[in-house]
Chain A
Amino acid sequence: MKYKDYYAILGVAKNAGTDDIKKAYRKLAHKYHPDVSKEAGAEEKFKEVAEAYETLKNPEKRAAYDQLGSHQPGQDFRPPPDWQKQYGETPFSFEDIDLSDLFAGLRGGRFHARAERGRIPIPGEDYEVAVHITLEEAYRGTEVELDLSMPEFDANGLMHRVPHVVKARIPRGATDGQRLRLAGKGGKGMNGGRNGDLYLNIVLHPHPLFRVSGHDLYLDLPLAPWEAVLGTAVDLPTPGGPVRLKVPPGTHAGQKLRLAKRGLPKPRDGEGDLYAVVQIVVPGAVSDRERALYQQLAQGSTFNPRGHFAQEWRHESRTH
């Protein structure tokens, strides 16, 4: 069993009062709670903090924890022999037990199997996991295998983490932020209680070409100045395969060209759209001939892209 320093996790002294422990928990919970925090690793940090508070807020559990003695965090240790006699009904092994699971079963000075508590049906725990998929997987649907660790009680009332593999079909149309439910795939219910559920939170990997907005996709479409002025036809990548897009003459930067139903599929029917966002790009270096042609164009053109500057300036001066 690995030692965890619950006092250090909460940042309190070993002789801290219950109020100080509560204050420290509240402060850290506000900082790391996964429903309110955006910090990296917040969920794991909150689990540690909640586990430490769960034990230290309860005088009986805290006393049992204190009697384990001090060790280095992460260090393998065994409780002292008299500790086990005091709290355990039957001898048991500490090999594959997590410290939090050990204290979860401690009530009335003894470890109890939750299953024996009045033989009342106890529902299994629900679990929520983030599932990262690519845009291509979202487009055509995919299957994912989730390696989970779920608690189960042994005959001595000790909770053990048991590995579970769940294979789920992610249907096409699941996009970023989508929540999916796998009924009955959470923790095991006891005494006839229903099994918990497993909730999947879909997270899309960023794509090098497409940006996702719901089921719509956005793609930057770089055009050369002459392509924008004269119009052109370009091959455009889409998740369903390349399509030929006609770019009309006089297309300007920032314009969105819509390709209907070329986005991500929607859950029940239909598809999102794909928007090609026009960017006018210029060559970094030009040949002598190209430079001469640009100069010829500059001399021959009457186009003034900043014509509205003077007009707006005059209008503002008159009104103020």
Chain B
Amino acid sequence: MKVELTEVLWLDEPQELSLTDLAGLSGLSEADLRELADYGVIAPVDPQAEPPAFRADCIVTARTACRLRTDFELDVPGLALALTLLGRIHDLEAQLRDLSAQYPYRPRRKS
């Protein structure tokens, strides 16, 4: 069977998603997304714009939020706290990976 090749979409494209699109793609309601934006978990491209638009990479955070809300029955303030802490862990892990990459880890003793 011939399988059609699919082109991927980058999630860090400098493209914008409307509030409605982000709600449809993430499974969260527009009200939840607005509240998460108020907590600073996702940032609108233009804080003054109404309705707000978001960068495409907000999909990752919003989808994680949807999973956590469903699986842990979290309310939005709890969700915002969990996402903030997960984001901090993610950043620290990235820093650790970057630092580990910069330092040699295999002392060479062979002649």
A239 within 8 A of B: no
Q: Is the CB of A145 within 8 A of B3?
A: yes
B31 within 8 A of A: no
A145-198 interface with B by 8 A CB criterion: 145, 165-171, 176-183, 185, 194, 197
Q: Is the CB of B108 within 8 A of A281?
A: yes
- Contact string against A for B residues 57-93, beta-carbon threshold 8 Å, 1 for contact and 0 otherwise: 1011001100110011000000000100010000000
- Per the bound structure, the CA–CA distance linking A285 and B60 in Å amounts to 54
B7 within 8 A of A: yes
Q: Is the CB of A182 within 8 A of B9?
A: yes
A116 within 8 A of B: no
A33 within 8 A of B: yes
Q: Is the CB of B72 within 8 A of A180?
A: no
With A35-B67, A256-B102 already in contact, the answer to whether A169 and B7 are too (CB < 8 A) is: yes
Interface of B is mostly: mixed
Instruction: Quote the shortest CB–CB distance from B47 to chain A (angstroms).
Output: 25
Instruction: Quote the shortest CB–CB distance from B108 to chain A (angstroms).
Output: 5
Instruction: Quote the shortest CB–CB distance from B67 to chain A (angstroms).
Output: 6
Partner of B64, one of A26, A35, A176, A200: A35
Q: Is the CB of B9 within 8 A of A183?
A: yes
- Per the bound structure, the CA–CA distance linking A143 and B7 in Å amounts to 10
Partner of A170, one of B4, B8, B101, B106: B8
Q: Name the residue of chain B whose CB is nearest to the CB of A194.
A: B24
- Stretch in A64-72, A209-217, A300-308 with 4+ CB within 8 Å of B: A209-217
List the B side residues contacting A211 at CB < 8 Å: 100-102, 105
- Contact string against B for A residues 211-230, beta-carbon threshold 8 Å, 1 for contact and 0 otherwise: 11110101010100000000
List the A side residues contacting B94 at CB < 8 Å: 177
A81 within 8 A of B: no
Q: Is the CB of B63 within 8 A of A126?
A: yes
Partner of B104, one of A194, A213, A267, A277: A277
B1-27 interface with A by 8 A CB criterion: 1, 3-12, 24-25, 27
- The interface size of chain A toward B, counting residues with CB under 8 Å, comes to 51
A16-56 interface with B by 8 A CB criterion: 26, 29-30, 33, 35-36, 46, 50
Q: Is the CB of A167 within 8 A of B9?
A: no
B48 within 8 A of A: no
- Per the bound structure, the CA–CA distance linking A277 and B3 in Å amounts to 44
A283 within 8 A of B: yes
List the B side residues contacting A197 at CB < 8 Å: 25
Instruction: Quote the shortest CB–CB distance from A36 to chain B (angstroms).
Output: 7
List the A side residues contacting B3 at CB < 8 Å: 145, 165-167
Q: Is the CB of B71 within 8 A of A180?
A: no
Q: Name the residue of chain A whose CB is nearest to the CB of B99.
A: A213
- Per the bound structure, the CA–CA distance linking A103 and B105 in Å amounts to 51
What residues make up the interface of A, taking CB atoms closer than 8 Å to B?
26, 29-30, 33, 35-36, 46, 50, 123, 126, 128, 143, 145, 165-171, 176-183, 185, 194, 197, 199-200, 211-214, 216, 218, 220, 222, 254, 256, 267, 275, 277, 279, 281, 283-285
Q: Which 7 A-B pairs have the closest CB atoms?
A: A284-B111, A211-B101, A180-B8, A213-B101, A283-B111, A213-B98, A167-B3
What residues make up the interface of B, taking CB atoms closer than 8 Å to A?
1, 3-12, 24-25, 27, 57, 59-60, 63-64, 67-68, 71-72, 82, 86, 94, 97-98, 100-111
Task: Pull 9 A–B residue pairs with CB atoms less than 8 Å apart, ordered by A.
Answer: A166-B3, A168-B7, A180-B11, A194-B24, A220-B104, A220-B106, A254-B103, A281-B109, A285-B111
